[in-house]
Structure 1
Amino acid sequence: MSSPAWRRTTVFPMLALLLILAFPAATPAAGTATSVPAAQQARAAYRVEKVTEEWTMWDGEKLPLSVFYPADARPGEVFPAILVVHGWGMDKSMGEWVADHYASRGYVALAFTVRGWFGAGGEVGCMGPDTEMKDVSHIITLLGRDPRFPVMKDERGPVVGITGSSMGGCFSYLMAPRRNPRPGDPGDPRIRTAVPMHGSFDLLFSLYPNGVVKFLWVTLLLSTAYLGNLSGFMINVVNVIIDERMDGCQKLQAIMESAGKLVPLISDVDQQLFHIYEVALTRNEEEEGEAKEFFKLRSARYWCDGEYDGKVEHPITVPMLILAGWNDDLFYANEGLMAYRYTDAPKKIIITNHGHLGCYPGPFPFPGITGAPESAWVREQVDRWFDRFLKGVQNGVDREPGVVFYRHTDPEVYGKAATYPLPGTRQWSLYLGGGDGDGRGRLVSRLSAGDAGCDLLVNLGISGSVSLPYIHDAPQLLGGDPLTIPTRITLLHLPFSEVSYTSAPLPREVTVMGPPLFALFYQPSAKLTQLVPWLYEVTPEGEEVLVSRGFYEGHSDDVWMKQGTECPQEMQACYHRFRKGSRIKLVLSVADLPTSWPYPG
């Protein structure tokens, strides 16, 4: 007799929260850096010269790039170099805004277009160790050999830092050197410090969190890859228009040249990207392992911890300043916190309240675009970091707290701590207690005999709610206030599509910092089981505040047999203080369109 079309899920999750009890100050160890003369450290802004051309890569492909360098340097004066990598869907124009800024501060700064993107040779790939990462190392070599550019060198070669937002942050993680690197590791020892901004440290977790395909983001990324020529052209034209170094005729010529690069309109994309997309959406088990290996090889976590067991055999060995955001729903702050733990060198992480859209702190090309209220402060921290670890400026950045994070309880004053996990924290576990049969149960600190019941979930591939990407900070780029639209919208009530569990009122404040963990035990009627946990605060006034969310998809050939997660699964990292008298609420739903790709049982 065949099993029914619906899935009955017996759920016994455990929710674990990390509670903050103290906020000590930090004193990281100081790092080393090549020192520059004191006169260079103190002087006013340099006049900047820009060189734009194409450089031939190791395989013959040509990449457009721009080098910005101090034009009024004294004879024999040399400067550290900074590579700026643009985001997905962009071109070097985005990096030029940053490169110009750093050249005026006494650096040789280079912005290049990643292969396959607008105007560059090759195919749009995905940060391949043997392609895009190899390009970066080749660019460092060519920059160091070019007599036009006064690049500082030592026994290891050019003294280089790297930074970038989104994809540029991924590059920064991957290119940072690691201890005793394994064969194929893309890290380059000539890079002395890295500043990844909202990048992925683990692409497998970013796009395949706990086995669930992050459908909305994966689809947007793939679509943008094919439209990369168009998006790159648009930002390139904007960059030409605002370039004060060009007169009208030069701008017209540059725009015409850019228009010529729009043929073909659709970018040349590595066919493997669409194949992996197809494998993920069809849940092709025969090729799923290959798809996940593709993401691992493009993740800095893999090169630090090849077994994904938390044992960091090859930690990052250069100073790292990591920027992340609590609301970044593409690259969760979890990844920045993991990168922090995987770095054995001076390190610092700054976690703002931004989503992925607000990941770039500037500088911005237009006077009217100021960024979020803290953007100028974040830029200052990045400037000081490069000055300390590329120029050797004794500015005290290595003696400041290593963990700095936004707190909704005091938005103007960021929290600070010495390390992560924060000193003085402990884990607190809650369990699912018995309910009243209507999809509502209790969260309890310990289980009793009456709490060992089961809850029924029916998976139709949809639930009565939809979730939206975090775009609330978009107006802040123009100096406005963030949007107040909800992240999750309930449209209707579908019976058996979700269950909820609520704690008793809290006798005191409870503060959570980091990723909540959940463990699941269930009995499925089908091969695959998808469950989406949501964590809320229910205030004494009855308002429900979304605190964190997560994903889980389990695979089993044995239907109706008790299954479980092999280890606790991470939800989205957060900072949240539950008020005294509030209740903690956990909701488990069977789907989360359009964020995740559902499994219709």
Structure 2
Amino acid sequence: MYNVGMKSFFSFHLVVFSVCILLYTATGISQIRSDLYISVTYSDSVDAVCYYPRTSPPAKGYPAIIDVHGFGLSKETEIPFCTTYAAKGYITLAYSVRGHGSSSGLSQIMSNVERNDLACVLSFVKTLPNIDTNSIGIIGSSQGGLHGLWAAADQLPVKAIVCDAIIPSWASDMFSNGCIRRTFLNLLKTADVRWDPIRDTLWEFVRRDMYDSLLELFPRGRDFEIGENQTSSIPLMMFLKWQDHYFSPADGIKSFLNFPEPKKLYVGTQGHWSDLSVSDWLFQSDQLSRWFQEFLKGSHSGILEEPQFAYSCSSLPMDSNGYFKWTGYSSPTWPLAGIELFRYYLHSDSLISISSPSGSVDSFYLENKYLNPSYTFDTAFVEGFKGPRFDVLLPKSTRTFLSPVLAEDIMWIGQPKMRLFVHSDYKVFPLHVQIYEIDSAANKYFINRINYTERHWIPGSSAWIEVEGIPHAHIFSKGSRIGIEFTNIDKNNRKLLGNFPFVLPIFENCGVTVFYGPGYPSYIELPLIGNPVFVESDEKGEKGKSFLLSNYPNPFNPKTIITLDIPVKSMITLKVYNILGEELITLVEGFEDAGIRRWEWDASRYSSGVYFVKVGIQPLQGSSSYYGLRKILLLK
């Protein structure tokens, strides 16, 4: 575990920028600044700023870092970083990407044109006096981070790369699962950017909801080709963010696993509107500083002896700004050891459980109302897709399912998935899932999501849909519940941007029916570490009663003793299920007096794997029913 958290780049958070301003103020007299223009084509040049240390150059020359800004910004936003690292003995250069700042040319929105410009800038940097041409690094966030990935894919002659808040398939990721991410509009309407005409075409596609045209046009020349980054030997450090409103970390994690060594990955917070965490910022600052020290200065920093993967987990309590508590961990492998996939089946009592559903088939209808056709996309855009008119004319429809109360902390880490059996009479319909933690006081805290918009449904048909969502790392606290909320409009109660829809709404009257129960085992799947043990009463609940379910040994081979502590005489049902939710055996079904009761399960005839013990409890006195679920592990 690490004790201090991570660094975010200066483009995205005022707190980060402010800290660097303090460093800049304290060290500004230690560098020499030069402003210049660098030719990138016969007609275009980029506006740059270069800082030199005032110290005498090393025998081989100074190491150098090229710092590239985020979209919609300029070289000026990178000055705090440049001055700080010039004071550490690096030549630093930041430039305004074409169409930004005082650079000429037009932005094609992070395309191959900007990719070619980077090679020209690098060639220029190698001509600077007193520079070690074999020790040049690249750093950037978002658009700037993409430049680092380009450098790796093109095998440019650089010695180290640090990329923040970017993924190789960033362009198509903004249209995942049939949705258009709302932040895509920022790329088309950001102030202070001079656009190539491609922007106008893309905007028309968005406002007319021409999803297929967007998906075909925009990723071309922007996403990386398969395998592009798998041959580079340039040391690469990547920072990804669980709550990133632009780019899901899923593609970044998968791609990183295929990158050659040396490499290092951090996934956590601090960037693209994720939670602020000073400790996490400090951790990332330390990581990138030692990365450049190791590879650009050739000075041993110890970073390669540390685990390759670092990550941060959110958890309660939440502070007054709406930010979770973040705790950092590290691991030599990814995925983490101990992760298991748990399917939370929808049940007719609005509960989710890892036991397969019983009883009768049930369903709910999720309606997407569009009450006034004169309220167009253009009007909603001007209003920010929020406010009283938006909420009335495009109302949010929801259906919520809750888990039983958790008997211990469990960690969700990885990508959620939904598999639902649905019916719709419409060609297009939205179906989003929001995942919450519900504390013991019934306060709900949004964590992350699964987004899905169907674009080509056959009206009147029924089928299974299976969709992966945005990965996250979160520790659900003992005594809380897991909340699953289905909705047509993905707005939530998060203080930071929760009142904006994460993906664009559908301006049509439509809807979808979700079926669940026997024969239609619809579920939400979460990758978890820990034992999702539930011991809980029904909604009327009776305070003061506790039914403790345990087993020993665990893991076991082939026998284990299952123990239940019963405070009052009750009707007890105790059954064992396999990982598919199939009932294997009933250990007890009858009345038991108060006290500790034990039953042995002999699993000699079963294969190694995960099993579940489910207990149902009905006290003789009182109307509340109770149930519990425990995971047990058979190892042969």
In the superposition, the TM-score normalised over structure 1's length comes to 0.68
Kept in 2: contact 1:351–1:405 (CA 8 A): yes
Kept in 1: contact 2:399–2:487 (CA 8 A): yes
SS at match of 1:450: coil
Q: Which amino acid aligns with 2:189?
A: S
Kept in 2: contact 1:108–1:149 (CA 8 A): no
Unpaired runs of 5+ residues, structure 2, are: 3-26, 317-324, 372-389, 491-499, 511-636
> Take 1:53 and 1:422, find their aligned partners in 2: how far apart are those partners?
47
The alpha carbon displacement at 1:87 in A equals: 1.3
> Take 1:430 and 1:392, find their aligned partners in 2: how far apart are those partners?
50
Question: Over aligned residues, Cα RMSD in angstroms?
Answer: 3.2
Decide which of 314, 326, 329 is 1:415's aligned counterpart. Answer: 329
> Is 2:119 aligned against 1:137?
yes
The alpha carbon displacement at 1:84 in A equals: 0.3
Counting only pairs closer than 5 Å after superposition, residues 53-452 of structure 1 correspond to structure 2 as: 53-74=36-57, 76-129=59-112, 131-144=113-126, 146=127, 148-153=128-133, 158-177=134-153, 187-204=154-171, 206-215=173-182, 217-224=183-190, 227-228=191-192, 267-284=193-210, 287-291=213-217, 294-295=218-219, 297-300=221-224, 302-304=225-227, 314=230, 317-357=233-273, 372-409=278-315, 411=325, 413-435=327-349, 441-450=350-359, 452=361
Higher helix proportion: 1
The alpha carbon displacement at 1:122 in A equals: 0.6
Report which of the two structures shows the higher radius of gyration computed on alpha carbons. Answer: 2
The superposition leaves residues 378-404 of structure 1 with CA deviations (integer Å, 9 ceiling, x where unpaired) of 322211111112222211101112222
> Take 1:116 and 1:341, find their aligned partners in 2: how far apart are those partners?
34
The superposition leaves residues 396-438 of structure 1 with CA deviations (integer Å, 9 ceiling, x where unpaired) of 1011122223334595752221222112212111122224xxx
Query: Residues 335, 456 of structure 1: CA spacing in aligned structure 2 closer, same or farther, 3 A cutoff?
Result: same
Query: Residues 575, 45 of structure 1: CA spacing in aligned structure 2 closer, same or farther, 3 A cutoff?
Result: same
Decide which of 476, 486, 489 is 1:591's aligned counterpart. Answer: 489
The alpha carbon displacement at 1:63 in A equals: 0.9
Which piece of structure 1 moves more, 374-383 or 408-417?
Answer: 408-417
Kept in 2: contact 1:176–1:193 (CA 8 A): no
Q: Which amino acid aligns with 1:391?
A: K
Query: Residues 424, 319 of structure 1: CA spacing in aligned structure 2 closer, same or farther, 3 A cutoff?
Result: farther
SS at match of 1:137: helix
> Take 1:74 and 1:205, find their aligned partners in 2: how far apart are those partners?
45
Kept in 1: contact 2:65–2:137 (CA 8 A): yes
Which piece of structure 1 moves more, 347-356 or 82-91?
Answer: 347-356
The superposition leaves residues 73-110 of structure 1 with CA deviations (integer Å, 9 ceiling, x where unpaired) of 34853133211001111111122322222222222221
The superposition leaves residues 332-366 of structure 1 with CA deviations (integer Å, 9 ceiling, x where unpaired) of 3435433432322122233343342579x9xxxxx
Identity of aligned residues (%): 22
Query: Residues 495, 76 of structure 1: CA spacing in aligned structure 2 closer, same or farther, 3 A cutoff?
Result: closer
Kept in 2: contact 1:46–1:105 (CA 8 A): no
Query: Residues 493, 273 of structure 1: CA spacing in aligned structure 2 closer, same or farther, 3 A cutoff?
Result: closer
Kept in 2: contact 1:456–1:496 (CA 8 A): no
Query: Residues 81, 299 of structure 1: CA spacing in aligned structure 2 closer, same or farther, 3 A cutoff?
Result: farther
SS at match of 2:287: helix
Kept in 2: contact 1:534–1:549 (CA 8 A): yes
> Is 2:478 aligned against 1:580?
yes
The alpha carbon displacement at 1:168 in A equals: 1.1
Query: Residues 297, 452 of structure 1: CA spacing in aligned structure 2 closer, same or farther, 3 A cutoff?
Result: farther
> Take 1:559 and 1:334, find their aligned partners in 2: how far apart are those partners?
32
> Take 2:456 and 2:69, find their aligned partners in 1: how far apart are those partners?
41
Query: Residues 557, 78 of structure 1: CA spacing in aligned structure 2 closer, same or farther, 3 A cutoff?
Result: same
Moved segments of 4+, more than 6 Å: 490-496
SS at match of 1:138: helix
Which piece of structure 1 moves more, 513-522 or 529-538?
Answer: 513-522
Which piece of structure 1 moves more, 394-403 or 73-82?
Answer: 73-82
> Take 1:315 and 1:429, find their aligned partners in 2: how far apart are those partners?
37
1:554 aligns with 454
The alpha carbon displacement at 1:444 in A equals: 2.4
SS at match of 2:256: helix
Query: Residues 317, 526 of structure 1: CA spacing in aligned structure 2 closer, same or farther, 3 A cutoff?
Result: farther
Which piece of structure 1 moves more, 194-203 or 281-290?
Answer: 281-290
SS at match of 2:344: strand
> Take 1:346 and 1:137, find their aligned partners in 2: how far apart are those partners?
22
Q: Which amino acid aligns with 1:424?
A: G
> Take 1:518 and 1:542, find their aligned partners in 2: how far apart are those partners?
24
In the superposition, the TM-score normalised over structure 2's length comes to 0.64
The superposition leaves residues 112-143 of structure 1 with CA deviations (integer Å, 9 ceiling, x where unpaired) of 110011211110221212x1110101111122
SS at match of 2:431: strand
> Take 2:251 and 2:187, find their aligned partners in 1: how far apart are those partners?
19
Query: Residues 504, 494 of structure 1: CA spacing in aligned structure 2 closer, same or farther, 3 A cutoff?
Result: farther
SS at match of 1:416: strand
The alpha carbon displacement at 1:62 in A equals: 1.2
Kept in 2: contact 1:64–1:113 (CA 8 A): yes
Kept in 1: contact 2:30–2:87 (CA 8 A): yes
> Take 1:494 and 1:45, find their aligned partners in 2: how far apart are those partners?
52
SS at match of 2:267: strand
The alpha carbon displacement at 1:494 in A equals: 9.6
Higher strand proportion: 2
> Take 1:59 and 1:352, find their aligned partners in 2: how far apart are those partners?
42
Kept in 2: contact 1:461–1:590 (CA 8 A): no
1:250 aligns with none
How many equivalent pairs are there? 450
Unpaired runs of 5+ residues, structure 1, are: 1-22, 25-43, 178-186, 229-266, 306-312, 362-370, 436-440, 463-489
The alpha carbon displacement at 1:47 in A equals: 4.6
> Take 1:303 and 1:106, find their aligned partners in 2: how far apart are those partners?
37
2:630 aligns with none
1:236 aligns with none
Query: Residues 124, 189 of structure 1: CA spacing in aligned structure 2 closer, same or farther, 3 A cutoff?
Result: closer
> Take 2:208 and 2:414, find their aligned partners in 1: how far apart are those partners?
33
SS at match of 1:454: strand
Kept in 1: contact 2:269–2:280 (CA 8 A): no
Query: Residues 176, 569 of structure 1: CA spacing in aligned structure 2 closer, same or farther, 3 A cutoff?
Result: same
Counting only pairs closer than 5 Å after superposition, residues 502-541 of structure 1 correspond to structure 2 as: 502-541=402-441
Kept in 2: contact 1:159–1:190 (CA 8 A): no
The superposition leaves residues 134-153 of structure 1 with CA deviations (integer Å, 9 ceiling, x where unpaired) of 01011111222x2x422223
The superposition leaves residues 35-86 of structure 1 with CA deviations (integer Å, 9 ceiling, x where unpaired) of xxxxxxxxx9995332211111134301111222334434853133211001
Query: Residues 352, 53 of structure 1: CA spacing in aligned structure 2 closer, same or farther, 3 A cutoff?
Result: same
1:368 aligns with none
Q: Which amino acid aligns with 1:85?
A: V
Query: Residues 519, 75 of structure 1: CA spacing in aligned structure 2 closer, same or farther, 3 A cutoff?
Result: closer
The superposition leaves residues 451-502 of structure 1 with CA deviations (integer Å, 9 ceiling, x where unpaired) of 543221221159xxxxxxxxxxxxxxxxxxxxxxxxxxx9799999221222
1:569 aligns with 468
The superposition leaves residues 509-544 of structure 1 with CA deviations (integer Å, 9 ceiling, x where unpaired) of 221112222233321211112111101122233222
Which is bigger in relative contact order (C-alpha 8 A, separation at least 6)?
1
Kept in 2: contact 1:137–1:188 (CA 8 A): no
